[in-house]
Amino acid sequence: MRTSLMFLLIFSMLWNTHVLQGQQISGKSYHIDGHQPVYFPLGHISFADSLVSYRVGNPAPIQKYRDSTQVLHEPDYIGYRTPNFASLGCEGVLVVKFIDNGFMNLKGDDLYIFEVGPSRESAMIEISEDGKNWIYAGTIAGGKSALNLSAEGIDRSTVFYYLRVTDLMDLCEHSISAGADIDAIGAINSVIKISINSDVLFDVGKYNLKKDARATLDSLAAKIRIIDKATLVIEGHTDSDGSHDMNMILSENRSNAVKKKLQEIFGDDAQYDYDVRWYGKTKPRVPNDSDENKQLNRRVEVTVQPPQEYYQSLETH
């Protein structure tokens, strides 16, 4: 019962109810402020969902441009006199969180900051996995502001959920919209990561799915179906009990068992690619120093990433 509750909690954290409308999400391009369109492979879920904090800079923009919630969700900039963006003020700071999704350092550009308005004002971008420990991700120059996290050598396996924007004081004269003007913050390489405790799916030391595992995987498949095309990265992990070789084989077989069952559930017409990986006991989430922690480390993780055809298209342009 406990592990089932853990599984449901993870789903509730990673999937906001407003996403689950029964309609599939397709990739979508956004045309903003006269620039070339920007394509987001996972569509409208790719944008920051929640405002964490907003510290207006000095000099500050007028009150009309201080509605920091305007940076959330899809871009909707119309024109400078319509306040559907937020101005940071000189050296102002904005922190947002991605709830429906996270983002990773994958191929191509990873992030896009929609900095709008008549002036091009630069800002520093930092990212975080937990909202506490921050990593420098680059500087945007305003306007068309894409970031490739590889340029800063950022880890390629971490899923990030927080982003911080700090105005870099380019234009600090008194202005009605002083500081960088942000309309939206999007993750081009948006991902959805779901972790399932292995005890929900398998008996101890086994890789054949339990009979009641079907309900869990049906629920997982329903969430994945929201995205019409994607790559499903399936990763198997164990605790530290047993030998290295035994755990590698066990995690490999468990990952493949989940893949096979998902393929069966989705059917032949599904447009999903599969990438199966296994790590045994080499990547524990927490130290294997208690039964409770070992239970957390026994898991199968499924990460929904943009489809392979998207990355193939990058190579042809």
For 158-170, the pLDDT digits (tens) are 999 999 999 999 8
Predicted local confidence at residue 23, as pLDDT = 53
| pLDDT, tens digit, 9 for 90 and up, residues 192-226 | 999 999 999 999 999 999 999 999 999 999 999 99
Predicted local confidence at residue 120, as pLDDT = 83
Contacts of 317 (CB under 8 A, 6+ apart): none
Predicted local confidence at residue 245, as pLDDT = 98
Domains plus CATH for the chain? Answer: 2-20+192-315 (3.30.1330.60), 31-188 (2.60.120.260)
Predicted local confidence at residue 2, as pLDDT = 46
Predicted local confidence at residue 36, as pLDDT = 80
pLDDT tens string for the chain (317 positions)? 444 434 443 443 344 433 444 456 789 999 876 668 899 999 999 999 999 999 999 999 999 999 999 999 999 998 888 999 999 999 999 999 999 899 999 999 999 999 988 888 999 999 999 999 999 999 998 766 999 999 999 999 999 999 999 999 987 776 788 899 999 999 999 999 999 999 999 999 999 999 999 999 999 999 999 999 999 999 999 999 999 999 999 999 999 999 999 999 999 999 999 999 999 999 999 999 999 999 999 999 999 999 999 999 998 86
